[in-house]
Amino acid sequence: MLLHVPGPMIETEGKVVRPSLWKYRYPLFLITLLGILFTYQLAVVLLLRKPKQTIDGSFTGSKILNPYENWDNEKGEKISLHTHSDEVWFTPERHTVAEITNEYKKEGFSNLAITDYGQISDTEDKTYIRGFEWGQNVKKRHILAIGIKKAIYDFFPIYASRENLNWVMDRMKKLGGYVILPHPKLFDSYSKEEMLSIEGFQAVEVYSPYGDDSKILDSLLSNGKNVHCMASDDLHYFPETIVNKFDQPFWKDMIQTLGHQRGRKGESFLRYVVTNAGISNESSVLQALHSGSFFCVKKFFQGAEDPKVPLIRVNDKHQIQVASKERYLEIRFIGKMGEVLQVNPDTSTATYEILESDPYVRVELIALTGSILSNAIVRGQ
């Protein structure tokens, strides 16, 4: 016969004779499974897409838009927007929502967001801000959504194109989420070129335990993307001094020890945003985020006093006026492509006149205990 097709099993003299391919059943099963996964991944990559839309690419106009024009005093609210709890089934070793909220309140935080992986953790405590972190891929291309009411399934566990990421972020925004690109320097998950090629995000973590880089903002702003700064702890565990006070079950202590989570200093309480006085519940914080009316803060060490945020005004002469009760080591005015436009050392006040050649200006303040970033003051119609 030219073609031999293995037939059914035949019993000969009490022995079972199986088809010749039977011994390859496990490799064949694995190949079939990989084929199904490949077909699925290829299908969603091709179908779930949102092409990039062309943007103007510059800030133009005679009007100066100041996101801090409604700030009425220098007293702000500390908000942490990126923390992970034990509510997810595969992270039982992390801390409870109650433990996290209590410790942050002790450190003077007015509120925080619980942003667990792949789900909106909704406990009986209704005061904290809801959110979640999307993304399971190896390259850590995650997306953070704050204030969203429904988690989005990750259709791209292996690979997602830029158009796929646009599609995900578009869905997040339609569901009411404020969209952030977290930890872009972790595994170079989002290069500057990639961030220019995707859209839909409103902020990028420039202060993160996985890398601090405020110049990321200038790369985006200089190309017409009016994105905001973001600063967060990306909390996964507290320092040992705090964990020792928790009444944890034995099995949680064991998992934390085996996972080398114990004995570390932790990354809590160092990076956060500051909103205007009285802006601390979920709805008001979301309004502040969307308008860019908040500061990003990075403290230099735990236990330090909080650096004070300033008041920022723009007068009729297009002068940016910065004033604070704190005396800063430096007040810097940063312009297009990260150019340092002006530096005022050892002062609590500074003034910079916006030039016609300045599409935007942002302010960096270096205090004794930490640094503060403003969002951009931009030209508009």
Q: Does residue 331 belong to any structural domain of this protein?
A: no
Q: Which 8-state DSSP code applies to residue 235?
A: B
Measure the CA dihedral 288/293/299/304, to 10°.
Answer: -80
pLDDT higher than 50, residue 37: yes
CB-based contact 341:352 (threshold 8 Å):
yes
Question: Distance (Å, rounded) from C-alpha 137 to C-alpha 158?
Answer: 5
Q: Which residues pair with 272 in a beta bridge?
A: 297
Question: What's the pLDDT tens digit per position in 186-197?
Answer: 988 899 899 999
**Over residues 14-41, mean pLDDT:** 76
How far, in Å, are 51, 82, 274, 321 from residue 271 at the CA level? 34, 10, 10, 25
The last residue of one of the domains, among 269, 285, 306, is: 306
Closest CA to 182 of 129, 118, 130, 233: 233
Q: Quick one: pLDDT at residue 2?
A: 47
Whether residue 369 contacts residue 344, with contact meaning beta carbons closer than 8 Å, is answered with no
364, 114 in Cβ contact below 8 A? Answer: no
Q: How many CA atoms lie within 13 A of 186 on its CB side?
A: 18
In tens, the pLDDT along 152-170 reads 999 988 888 899 999 999 9
Q: What is the H or E stretch that residue 207 is in?
A: strand 203-207
Domain closes at, from 273, 289, 306: 306
What mean pLDDT is reported for the chain?
A: 91
Q: Is 202 helix (H, G, I), strand (E, B) or coil?
A: coil
| Residue 341 placed within a domain | no
Return the half-sphere exposure (C-beta side, CA atoms, 13 A cut-off) of residue 246.
24
CATH number, residue 288: 3.20.20.140
Lookup: tokens for 286: 């979301």
Q: How confident is the model at residue 344 (pLDDT cuts 50, 70, 90)?
A: very high
Determine, yes or no, domain membership for 144.
yes
Q: Is 220 contained in some domain?
A: yes
Range of the domain at 29: 10-47
Decide if 296 contacts 373 (C-beta within 8 A). Answer: yes
User: What confidence category does residue 3 fall into, taking pLDDT thresholds of 50, 70 and 90?
Assistant: very low
Give the pLDDT score at 282: 97
How many C-beta neighbours within 10 Å does residue 174 have?
Answer: 9
Confidence of residue 130 (pLDDT cuts 50, 70, 90): very high
Q: Is the pLDDT of residue 172 over 90?
A: yes
Instruction: Label residue 42 by pLDDT band (50, 70, 90).
Output: confident
Residue 249 lies in a domain: yes
Are 134 and 14 within one domain?
no
Q: Quick one: pLDDT at residue 308?
A: 96
Residue 380 lies in a domain: no
Residues 122, 28 share a domain:
no
Position 174: which residue type? K
Whether residue 159 is found in the same domain as residue 245: yes
Per-residue pLDDT, 305:
95
- Please check whether residues 24 and 146 belong to one and the same domain: no
pLDDT at 266 over 80: no
Residue 160: per-residue pLDDT:
87
In a domain, 318, yes or no: no
Q: What is the C-alpha to C-alpha distance for residues 31 and 211, in angstroms, rounded to an integer?
A: 40
Per residue in 218-248, pLDDT tens? 999 999 999 999 999 999 999 999 999 999 9
Number of domains in the chain: 2
Instruction: Please tell me whether residues 126 and 23 are part of one structural domain.
Output: no
Structure tokens at 16: 């079972």
Give 302-313 pLDDT, tens digit per residue. Answer: 889 999 999 999
Looking at the structure, do residues 40 and 168 belong to the same domain, yes or no? no
For the cut 80, the answer to whether the pLDDT of residue 53 exceeds it is: no
346 found inside a domain: no
Q: What's the angle, vertex CA 50, arms to CA 60 and CA 142, rounded to 5?
A: 90
pLDDT score for 334: 98
pLDDT at 295: 98
